[in-house]
Structure 1
Amino acid sequence: MVGPSFDPSPSDSAPGNGSGGDAAAAPAPRSITPTTVKDLRDAVSTVGAVLIRGTGTATTWGAPVRDARTTVSLAGMDRVLDHRPADMTVHVQGGIRLDVLQAELAEHGQWLPYDPARSEATIGGLLATGDAGPRRLAYGSLRELVIGATMVFPDGAIAKSGGHVIKNVAGYDLAKLCHGSLGTLGVVAELVLRVHPLPQTSRTVMVRDVDTAAAQQLTWALTRSAIEPTAVEWCEPEQVLAVRFDGTADGAAARAASARSMLTGSLAELDAGEAHSFWESHAARVVAEPGDTVLRAATRPGIDPGLVRALSMFAEFAGVKALLTCSPATGAYTVRVTGADAKAHAEVVKNWRGSVEAVGGFVMLRRRRPGVDAMVESWGRAPGSVEVMRRVKGNFDPENRFAPGRFAPWF
């Protein structure tokens, strides 16, 4: 049962809010690096606000965390606990990096079919951010690969669900609870994941000079066909549509050939080096660089030509460059804003967010140029589910200790 709603306003006695207590008496910030679940429980049971940290690749996502006196690093919980190749499962600690895990699985001809741009991030952090890459079209996000989870909550409670058996449905689905919570509800201590055979090869077909209407038409044709693309991504202002196929050598080649016969325009099948370079640059574009501002928008599936035109207009007016990537089949957009100053970045965020919200979508900030936070909120209009979100937060973290302020001003 969902409990009482969480009050988003800080209490007068909360340290660091400037309205009560002696700032000089506040404890000095500290960092704790547990190595076991019990150590983690003791670490998060400390007094005051807590920030959970993996490799630090998503510390700027959402609104800035307020007054975190204790940082709990998962760098000491980075091991594979149990890999069962025959069962296609792996049990890991939450602090293991995705690229390290993929390398170990590859030695057994297996992998996680999951390709977020931040491959150096921890597996627990990736679940907490709800991140996913282009292959989400075929394989889903990380939560679809989780069959067991161990979490530690702010009160020190340790909860487990699932296990190594894929059909084991015992307990609450902790992975879905944590997915996208940005470290505000609990810590991912351990995960049991379902792995897949490593594809023999990957093929990428690219269509150049594709406008929004053509990109959407081609995407629908591909996703409604039997050739099952692994990823379909559209990039602006380059106006290229990239289509990826994973599988056996013969299977991927046949599907790529079918795609070439189905698609129209300036077609090319990239060789292995070209494909690797393209997808690497795609990931770098999504992550961006310090000084850039990165927006993530979610809308209904498709490419909205009005949103693309609006972004171009707002960017030109502000004197910045806006690089857009879109997953047409899922309606996810990532925008990287570069150049000019913080005021120009904030204007683009505010204006384009208004356009996205007008069609029922939302926009969050994943990264921002210094100074942007003072001019525009990290989150826009609250969704209709915000009251449920507040009640869930109130149930699991009634004292607002985990990442306070991350979802401000919603809660």
Structure 2
Amino acid sequence: MPPRRSAKSKPKALDALAKVCGDVRPGEPEEGVLGVVPEVVAAPATVAEAAEVMRTAAEKGLAVVPRGAETRLDWGTPPARCDLLLDTSRLDGVVEHAAGDLVVTARAGLATDRLAGILAEQGQRLALDGPLPGSTVGGTIATAAAGPLRLLYGSPRDLVIGLTVVRADGRIARSGGKVVKNVAGYDLGRLFSGSFGTLGLIVEATFRLHPVPAARAFITRAVPDAAGAREAVRAVLRSPAVPSALEVVAPAGHGGIVVGVLLEGVEAGVAARTAQITALLGGDAETGEEPPEWWGAYPDGTTLIDVAAPPTALPDLLSAVGDAGPGAALVWSADGRGHVGLSGGTTSEAAAQLLGGLRSVLAGAPHRGGAVVRYAPGAVRKELDLWGPVPALPLMRRVKDQFDPERRMSPGRFVGGL
């Protein structure tokens, strides 16, 4: 299917936006968001300019879809309209790095791997090891993306201590700050984490930082079956070793189930804890200072399913993926989040069967988890219920009504058509 233009054409939008923003142009077909081509693309360079763009969009009734580095722009559902694609690439750089306070404020368009390089010069890091290189600060927060380190350090909602956003009407809103505490009113960092651009435009974020560890060790071991994986995970989590990350991967491509553990800290402490974990996992466990090639990556495939599955659900999760056949793969973190990948040859019927099976296994007691489709080929996507049941949907709609009563921010991109 060829890309389609936004259903609501705005021929005068470009002229109006050009008066308040130095980088405005017509949208191109290749810039379509899941097939919906924007009428106009604007790239503000400052917070003030972004606010003026959003104010003008409100005056003209434009539907706005934020764009970072496009690493996750294919997540979610196609927007109902995309009159204005708001590019954050010029909202770049570090605003302030208070190294003594372990705090940094960065603009939304800054790539997280570039931020990592800047922080490393001071021996510090943002403990968000996102799987996709080039992901921006704003996009990482908007999709709540996090890698293996979330076991110890948490996700964006845990590490964001201050956020600056531009609301749908162009007003600038801030919460938090350079100190590690909450403030009265909305905690925007938590509210906007995982909001998929439906509440407003993220322009700056302040993060809590951590020192770069002096030493690290990766310990991996292949286990024979799901029961072996469950016992290995249980043993590591119950040990005093305090892993920074614990990952489990299963076919395709790995030949079996593999458990991986990351330990960090001072050199002597890491050495002692490595010996402890090696003994727990078995004498044939492998150790090294560099991660295995699969570490922190999404599973291969053209369909990606995000699963919320606590450690108690791991055997059922592995069984469901194994039953799906050789084209299915799993990457799971002991914090209870993971991803299932399906190969390009997977039919919509097979994908729907696996998705239904995952939701049946994970829903309710004792697991209380779920499964959400992040991306899939168009033909497969149309046949799937991407989001599944969402008990909090009425509350989410009330929040949407307060922040974006005209439903112009990324309309239709999120659960329930939000």
TM-score interval (norm. to shorter): 0.7 to 0.9
Quick one: which amino acid aligns to residue 45 of structure 2?
A: T
Partner Cα distance (1:96, 1:349) in 2: 37
Partner Cα distance (1:353, 1:303) in 2: 10
**Map of 1:307 onto structure 2:** 317
Aligned counterpart for 1:151 among listed residues 151, 165, 172: 165
Aligned counterpart for 2:276 among listed residues 238, 255, 258: 258
Partner Cα distance (2:330, 2:219) in 1: 19
Q: Is 2:252 the counterpart of 1:239?
A: no
Structure 1 residues 6-405: aligned runs within 5 Å = 29-45=39-55, 46=57, 47-167=61-181, 169=183, 171-237=185-251, 238-264=256-282, 266-269=284-287, 271-272=288-289, 275-276=290-291, 278=292, 280-286=293-299, 288=300, 292-313=302-323, 315-316=324-325, 321-327=327-333, 329-340=334-345, 342-344=347-349, 346-356=351-361, 358-359=363-364, 360-381=368-389, 383-405=390-412
Q: CA deviation at 1:377?
A: 2.5
Quick one: which amino acid aligns to residue 46 of structure 2?
A: T
Q: CA deviation at 1:110?
A: 0.9
Is 1:349–1:376's contact at 8 Å kept on the other side of the alignment? no
Q: Deviations over 1:139-180 (max 9, x none)?
A: 111222222211111111211112212246355311001011
Quick one: which amino acid aligns to residue 340 of structure 2?
A: V
Is 2:95–2:107's contact at 8 Å kept on the other side of the alignment? yes
Quick one: which amino acid aligns to residue 347 of structure 1?
A: A
- TM-score w.r.t. structure 2 length? 0.84
Is 1:117–1:284's contact at 8 Å kept on the other side of the alignment? yes
Structure 2 gaps, min length 5 = 14-25, 27-38
Which segment is superposed worse, 301-310 or 247-256?
A: 301-310
Q: Which has the higher contact order (CA 8 A, sep 6+)?
A: 1
Quick one: which amino acid aligns to residue 37 of structure 1?
A: V
Partner Cα distance (1:246, 1:305) in 2: 27
Partner Cα distance (1:404, 1:349) in 2: 28
- Paired residue secondary structure (2:138): helix
Aligned CA distance change for structure 1 residues 198 and 163 (closer, same or farther; 3 Å): same
Partner Cα distance (1:310, 1:144) in 2: 30
- Paired residue secondary structure (2:65): strand
Q: CA deviation at 1:410?
A: 5.2
Aligned CA distance change for structure 1 residues 366 and 159 (closer, same or farther; 3 Å): same
- TM-score w.r.t. structure 1 length? 0.85
Q: Deviations over 1:220-274 (max 9, x none)?
A: 22222221001111111321100110112222111111111222364121x23xx
Which segment is superposed worse, 97-106 or 212-221?
A: 212-221
Quick one: which amino acid aligns to residue 403 of structure 1?
A: S
Partner Cα distance (2:337, 2:229) in 1: 14
Q: CA deviation at 1:98?
A: 0.3
Q: CA deviation at 1:119?
A: 3.4
Q: Deviations over 1:100-120 (max 9, x none)?
A: 000011111111122120231
Quick one: which amino acid aligns to residue 281 of structure 2?
A: L
Partner Cα distance (2:414, 2:403) in 1: 15
Structure 1 gaps, min length 5 = 1-14
Partner Cα distance (1:79, 1:38) in 2: 16
Aligned CA distance change for structure 1 residues 90 and 352 (closer, same or farther; 3 Å): same
Partner Cα distance (1:358, 1:138) in 2: 25
Is 1:63–1:377's contact at 8 Å kept on the other side of the alignment? no
- Paired residue secondary structure (1:302): helix
- Paired residue secondary structure (1:388): helix
Over the matched positions of the two proteins, sequence identity in percent amounts to 35
Quick one: which amino acid aligns to residue 392 of structure 1?
A: V
Partner Cα distance (2:283, 2:267) in 1: 26
**Map of 1:9 onto structure 2:** none
Q: CA deviation at 1:391?
A: 0.8
Alpha-carbon RMSD across the aligned residues, in angstroms, is 2.3
Aligned CA distance change for structure 1 residues 304 and 147 (closer, same or farther; 3 Å): closer
Which segment is superposed worse, 143-152 or 355-364?
A: 355-364
Is 2:317–2:358's contact at 8 Å kept on the other side of the alignment? no
Quick one: which amino acid aligns to residue 247 of structure 1?
A: G
Aligned CA distance change for structure 1 residues 345 and 66 (closer, same or farther; 3 Å): farther
Is 1:311–1:352's contact at 8 Å kept on the other side of the alignment? no
Quick one: which amino acid aligns to residue 264 of structure 2?
A: D
Partner Cα distance (2:417, 2:227) in 1: 35
Q: CA deviation at 1:348?
A: 4.3
Quick one: which amino acid aligns to residue 123 of structure 1?
A: V
Partner Cα distance (2:163, 2:416) in 1: 30
